[in-house]
Amino acid sequence: MIRFDRATKKYPDGTVAVDELELEAPTGQITVLVGPSGCGKTTSLRMVNRMIEPTSGTIWLDDTDTASMPAHELRRKIGYVIQHAGLFPHRTIVDNVATVPYLLGTGKREARSRAMELLERVGLDPAFAKRYPAQLSGGQQQRVGVARALAADPPVMLMDEPFSAVDPVVRDQLQDEFLRLQGELGKTIVFVTHDIDEAIKLGDRVAVLRVGGTLAQVAPPAELLSRPVDSFVAGFVGRDRGYRALGFTESGALPTHDEPTARLGEAVPQGHDLVLVVDGEQRPQGWLDPASARGTVEESDLLRGGTLATQGGTLRAALDACLSSPSRRGVVVDEQGRLLGSLTAREVLDLIERDEEPA
């Protein structure tokens, strides 16, 4: 657990970066600090490992006042990941990862074999071990940055916009893998971002800070979306928050209708309505317009673009499947990706409305 106890950072020119921050980051959870530029989120993060010393107040690491031990010792117990990874350009990847164990006096052989395990764990080919950072892409470097932060197995990790310098596709991948990794490791993480979507995706709890370094609201993401405390938080979490909040509501059993299907390679069916095409194992492949195809059903005839809702998934996924489907009928599949049936947006809306009735 990390606890900010009236932590304040004032600069000599009178600027207040963080103002009496009271916040707790529970053990084993991801606490995201989010807010506009100048809200003191990075300053708050850096006060934890004393890259910035608080002007007043205390930051507790479990029962220890972080100011009570030498800064370098504190820092070796805390993993730290920054935006551009900040790898050491003159060291190989494996030595970058093994840096903290080296500092702690771990033998070279042991530190390196642990580093190799970690590289694999963050999804990097061990062949990268002997390369230098500049030979890796931004996303790969960021994975190395995460591996380096994990190398001494610190209970606490601080992450300062670690995924914001990579392109959106890679960012999404890194976020998913980060969540998977956290599922295995259960670290106490404080994560800074300016991106509310990232905050909502990753955070167990999200703390919204306002300019001047005060806490506006701290809550689980679903609550933040559904019950922002004031207009600042409401404005910051964004316009389509109602829709995004559905991402936190499990749909329960979706009522589905049977959906007529056609198979790849079979004759194009008769009719005017769009037909769902599945493969040999009943997995949806796309929609077919019978009027524009001849002979047999080919891959190239398919209309793609519809997302799939998984039975037992979220209402957001169900509604999105309906809205994105060329036929306006949302496709529902089981966990193995096999077709269960379809439903319409209207039916999902009924579910939403029923869901919101007081129990």
- Counting contacts by CB under 8 A, is residue 144 touching another protein? no
- Counting contacts by CB under 8 A, is residue 89 touching another protein? yes
Selected binder of another protein within 16, 51, 222, 303 (CB under 8 A): 51
Selected binder of another protein within 87, 94, 216, 348 (CB under 8 A): 87
Contact characters 96-135, another protein, x per CB under 8 A:
---xx--x---------------------------xx-xx
- Counting contacts by CB under 8 A, is residue 76 touching another protein? yes
d(CA 27, CA 188): 5
Q: Please say whether the beta carbons of 339 and 292 come within 8 A.
A: no
d(CA 327, CA 274): 6
CB of 74 to another protein, least distance (A): 8
d(CA 202, CA 116): 26
**Whole-number Cα distances in Å, 97 to 109, 122, 239, 301, 334:** 13, 11, 41, 49, 40
Site size toward another protein, by CB under 8 A: 29
Which range touches another protein (CB under 8 A), out of 9-17, 30-38, 85-93, 340-348?
A: 85-93
Task: Rank residues 51 and 229 by Cβ distance to another protein and give the closer one.
Answer: 51
Selected binder of another protein within 29, 43, 44, 49 (CB under 8 A): 49
Task: Rank residues 161 and 259 by Cβ distance to another protein and give the closer one.
Answer: 161
d(CA 161, CA 173): 15
CB of 134 to another protein, least distance (A): 4
Task: Rank residues 141 and 310 by Cβ distance to another protein and give the closer one.
Answer: 141
Retrieve residue 188's tokens. Answer: 């106490």
d(CA 284, CA 273): 17
Task: Rank residues 11 and 88 by Cβ distance to another protein and give the closer one.
Answer: 88
Q: Please say whether the beta carbons of 174 and 202 come within 8 A.
A: no
CB of 246 to another protein, least distance (A): 38
Task: Rank residues 52 and 170 by Cβ distance to another protein and give the closer one.
Answer: 52
- Counting contacts by CB under 8 A, is residue 84 touching another protein? yes
Which range touches another protein (CB under 8 A), out of 69-77, 201-209, 220-228, 254-262?
A: 69-77
d(CA 39, CA 162): 18
- Counting contacts by CB under 8 A, is residue 192 touching another protein? no
Q: Give ∠ CA 70-76-77 in degrees, rounded to 5.
A: 95
Phi, psi of 316 (to 5 degrees): -65, -45
Q: How many CA atoms lie within 13 A of 153 on its CB side?
A: 6
Question: Over the Cα atoms of the chain, what is R_g?
Answer: 25
Task: Rank residues 162 and 221 by Cβ distance to another protein and give the closer one.
Answer: 162
- In this structure, the strands spanning 2-10 and 16-25 are antiparallel
Selected binder of another protein within 148, 187, 210, 241 (CB under 8 A): 148
SS3 assignment, position 25: strand
Binding site for another protein (CB under 8 A): 49, 51, 72-73, 75-76, 78, 80, 82-92, 99-100, 103, 131-132, 134-135, 145, 148, 158
